[in-house]
Chain A
Amino acid sequence: MKKFQLLLVAIISISLITSCGNSGKKQNSEKKAKALTGAGATFPQPFYNTIFKTYTKSKGLLVTYGGIGSGGGIRSLKDKIVDFGATDAFLSDKKLADMPGNVLHIPSCLGAVVAAYNLPGKPELKFTPELMEGIFMGKITKWNDAKIAKINPDAKLPDLAITVVYRSDGSGTTFIFSDYMSKVSSEWKEKIGAGKALQWPVGIAAKGNPGVAGTISSTKGAIGYIGSEYAFAQGIPIASIQNQAGNFIKPSVQSVSAAAAGDIPNDTRVTLTNTTAVDGYPISSFTWLIVYKEQSYNGRSKDQAEQTKLLLKWVLGQEAQSKTSKVHYAPLPEKAVVKAHKILDLMTYDGRGL
């Protein structure tokens, strides 16, 4: 008998718990947002880490960001497990069509991919697009090659083999770099192409921006491409690159901002590489936060959606944008901010504007 009573109590309590769960579900849309989660590109991660920390401190809402790579960010958004994704390569029309809902691109800042090298004496080097093609395709194999010396008459070039270092994992940084290379070199476009992972003719590979930076700084004669922040942080020398106008440009806040001087389409999906701007650094790019246009998915509450929009608005604002240069990124130009705000206004919850 006692056993029976115990069983009865158990059944009742279980049914009570489940009914509570049900009523909880109904009220889900009223629930307050506790935290926002995002995931994606590692290229802008130092910037996101800084600003999201500030946001969490000042607004009291926890924002977490996982640097899992641009592709991972897109997949996380596709699986609807994050509030926003982040990517360095905008979604192509085909990929947009593959997503379960309309996806909006909101540019968050500008970054540069730099050609960083390790040479004794740290000479300052200048590269033309032809030199870049020659070095990264393995046609120029020695640092004291006459072609490099011709462009850099003042630099002391050692008799050292060139070791190209590239990313072993798929990466938005690789996409930006190869997009540039495909624009300036027809041979590159034909043989290698642009993408997040490539078939490299020469060189060694390391994982992640930090991995490439570490391999460059520990290998004499190495050259590789990394997000600018990683080169500055480790004090690795960076080359000036000749842009379309013929000027040799060092990556800096000004030269990267200048690269975005041209026209920007309304959805901001544009590559800035090989810019026509006279003082623009040629391997610059926007990096984007991506969200669903329709914010009511996967049982998200309206507050969650509103908080997501507030966060994105704040990222575009003065406070966050002024932090870009501290971590060697560049703020968005005014035009881009205006367009981004217009894109944010498209966000809806259950079909109604937020």
Chain B
Amino acid sequence: MMAVGILATLIVGSIPTFKEFGFGFIFSSDWNPTEGRESYGALPFIIGTIATSILALAFTFPFAFSIALFLGEYYKKGRMSSILKSMIDLLAGIPSVVYGLWGFYTIKPIIVELGLNAQGFGIFTSAFVLAIMIIPYASSISAEVINMVPSNLKEAAYSLGATRFEVVKNVIIPNAGSGIFAGFILAFGRAIGETMAVTMLIGNSNKIPTNLFDLGNTMASLIANQFGEAEGLKYTSLVAMGLLLFVITGILNLIGKMVMRKFTA
């Protein structure tokens, strides 16, 4: 019900923008708020959002997956795993603005030092910090489902002479695949919606990024930045941006569900 209500207000709020620009709003790369020559397009922000989130997911995958295997299969109990578990949970509890600060003062200088980018801001920097932020979301659900793989299946595989790696590859992943996938979709959704840490690190340049180290901006970050002073067409364009964000998240969820159904079937 709430989701329907939010969707309805977003649609009503963004009508003036779509009336003015039509669907060109989605494909235009112009974001010019100067009075008298206003023109708004969402493309740079859609690309920025998807680029940072996919990159973050790519970064987070090896870590989150190995953590999940470690906690769900190799060391289910014991002090080591409980320490690791609480540390991962702690990661989820850190406010995003703290991640932003850490990125600003720690990661940014390293990126500059490595010569990847002159100022240290950009898609790469924010994706890196995002990746760490979303580890707990991806890993804790994955660990849970890996843990739930029936032990008689695994024992059967072992009794047939399978090595541990073969068990992971042939028994655990096929069985827990859809659950692991769901965890990563959740993490992806979190990365798409993240605002504060991204704003502090991405450079907020309203142009289409040309490479991984380029500056950019995301939809959530743009809304947070420009909402305060927005009025008229700019206001409705930001609402329309919110609507697009909503739709993209919805599509993602749908894809996630479809893939999961394919996996389980």
Contact = CB atoms under 8 A, between A and B. Distances in A.
Given A71-B228, A205-B203, A195 B33 contact: yes
A134 interface: no
A41 to B, nearest CB: 10
A64 to B, nearest CB: 18
A38 to B, nearest CB: 16
If over half of A's interface residues share one DSSP class (helix, strand or loop), that class is named, otherwise mixed; here it is loop
Interface in B211-234: 215, 217, 225-226, 228-231, 234
A207 B221 CA distance: 10
Interface string A190-234: 001111111110011111000100100011011000000000000
Contact of A205 (B33, B34, B204, B229): B204
Interface string A304-343: 0000000000000000000000000000000000000000
Interface string B107-121: 011000000001111
Interface stretch (A147-155, A164-172, A256-264): A164-172
A287 interface: no
A69 interface: yes
B180 to A, nearest CB: 36
A169 B203 CA distance: 12
Interface residues of A, number: 32
B28 interface: no
Given A75-B231, A170-B230, A171-B229, A199 B121 contact: no
A168 B118 contact: no
Nearest to B199: A207
B199 A170 contact: no
Interface string B78-118: 00000000000000000000000000110011000000001
Contacts of B30: 199
B32 interface: yes
Contacts of A194: 34
Contacts of B37: 193
Contacts of A45: none
Contacts, number: 83
B33 A170 contact: yes
A242 interface: no
Contacts of A169: 225-226, 228-229
B229 A71 contact: yes
A204 B206 CA distance: 9
| Size category, B interface | 20 to 34
If over half of B's interface residues share one DSSP class (helix, strand or loop), that class is named, otherwise mixed; here it is loop
Contact of B34 (A71, A72, A198): A198
A255 to B, nearest CB: 29
Most B C-beta atoms less than 10 A away, residue of A70, A194, A218, A222: A218
B229 A193 contact: no
A221 B112 CA distance: 12
Given A195-B33, A198-B34, A170 B229 contact: yes
A197 B36 contact: no
A198 B199 contact: no
Contacts of B32: 198-199
A197 B33 contact: yes
Contact of B35 (A161, A193, A221): A193
B205 interface: yes
B181 interface: no
Contact of B104 (A72, A75, A161, A218): A218
Contacts of B119: 163, 204, 219, 222
A71 B230 contact: yes
Interface string B234-250: 10000000000000000
Interface of A: 68-72, 75, 161, 163, 168-171, 192-200, 203-207, 211, 214, 218-219, 221-222
6 contacts: A161-B118, A169-B225, A193-B35, A196-B33, A204-B205, A205-B225
Closest 6 pairs (CB-CB, A-B): A170-B229, A71-B229, A205-B204, A168-B204, A204-B203, A197-B33
Given A71-B228, A205-B205, A207-B199, 14 more contacts: A168-B225, A170-B33, A193-B34, A193-B37, A195-B35, A196-B229, A197-B34, A197-B234, A200-B205, A204-B203, A205-B203, A205-B225, A214-B104, A218-B109
